Amino acid sequence: MQIPKLKPNTDNNFFLMAGPCAIEGEEIVLRIAERIVKITDQLNIPYIFKGSYRKANRSRLDSFTGIGDEKALKILEKVGKEFGVPTVTDIHESGEAAMAASYVDVLQIPAFLCRQTDLLIAAAKTGKTVNVKKGQFLSAGSMKYAVDKIVENGNTNVILTDRGNSFGYQDLIVDFRGIPEMRAFNVPVVMDCTHSLQQPNQASGVTGGKPALIETIAKAAIAVGADGLFIETHPDLANAKSDAANMLQLDLLEGLLQKLVRVRQAVI
């Protein structure tokens, strides 16, 4: 699997998808990207900048959904050009695939939509790498069919991302057996270390989370062979407009990645 513009990985390291949950504005996005690029360059971690141009799955009607599709996508495009890194964003409907593909390098299929055949086919036909998040309601083995839908439409650049399994009504749990099981499909497998710690369906209508366990999830994922990690991060969680409850404070990212590089070196 090749991701366009991904820097060479000379240390056999994991790769990282990281950035804010949502594109909130150009200044803060560029600041986050600059910081993560500096850290990943120092640690020789191949890096993909992540940011959602629109948040379609929100609990409450008054939740932040975005600053405008084209405006946000242009910011993502600017990140890619200015820092020389690939970018990834979610798409939610088939008609969005071609639009988003003209700005970013990787199209992400949200977990709740991973069985939507038309969406997967539309993403596949753009020729971009497609990152499919495993549904909270699916087994790891079931993701073979998502891979098949993309590959059988002429696109072999597929990534699978685990983001935990539904555990009751308001919690998630990670079954780390799923990482080697999905790797057997001959695609890179990523662990979403932040969304897997969400506590959805809270009475307030705002998703909760357990960010103190991000390091635990990340270490375990690397130990069992994850090819990459997905981490949402923000420099000002108190004012983040989306998913503040489970993102990683940006100042903590460097120390975490230093530990994870050592774990990776110990297990390869």
Q: Within a domain: residue 7?
A: no
Q: Within a domain: residue 22?
A: yes
- Specify the higher pLDDT residue, 177 or 201: 177
- Does 206 have pLDDT greater than 70? no
The whole-number average pLDDT for the span 183-200 is 91
The whole-number average pLDDT for the span 171-189 is 96
Q: Within a domain: residue 133?
A: yes
In which domain, by residue range, is 240 found? 15-267
- Specify the higher pLDDT residue, 7 or 80: 80
- Does 11 have pLDDT greater than 80? no
| pLDDT at position 109 | 98
For residue 204, the domain's CATH number is: 3.20.20.70
The tens digit of pLDDT for each residue in 162-172 reads 999 999 888 88
Query: Distance between alpha carbon 49 and the CA centroid of its chain, in Å?
Result: 9
Q: Within a domain: residue 2?
A: no
| pLDDT at position 103 | 98
| pLDDT at position 116 | 97
Distance CA 103, CA 80 (A): 9
Do 249 and 234 meet the contact criterion of CB atoms below 8 Å apart?
yes
| pLDDT at position 203 | 46
Mind giving me the DSSP string for the chain? ---TTPPP-TT---EEEEE-SB---HHHHHHHHHHHHHHHHHHT--EEEE-BS-----SSTTS---S-HHHHHHHHHHHHHHHT--EEEE--STTHHHHHHTT-SEEEE-GGGTT-HHHHHHHHHTTSEEEEEPPTTS-SGGGHHHHHHHHTTT---EEEEE--EE-SSS-EE--TTHHHHHHTTSS-EEEETTGGGEE-S-TTSS-EE-GGGHHHHHHHHHHTT-SEEEEEEES-GGG-SS-TTTPEEGGGHHHHHHHHHHHHHHH-
Q: Within a domain: residue 233?
A: yes
Q: Within a domain: residue 4?
A: no
pTM (two decimals): 0.92
The whole-number average pLDDT for the span 15-31 is 96
| pLDDT at position 14 | 97
Q: Within a domain: residue 1?
A: no
The whole-number average pLDDT for the span 66-85 is 95
- Does 67 have pLDDT greater than 80? yes
Mean pLDDT of the chain: 91
Distance CA 75, CA 70 (A): 9
Q: Count up the domains in the chain and report the number.
A: 1
For residue 10, what pLDDT band results from cuts at 50, 70 and 90? low
For residue 128, what pLDDT band results from cuts at 50, 70 and 90? very high
The percent of residues above 90 in pLDDT, for the chain, comes to 77
Phi-psi group of 183: left, alpha or beta (phi > 0 → left; psi -120 to 50 → alpha; rest → beta): alpha
Q: Within a domain: residue 8?
A: no
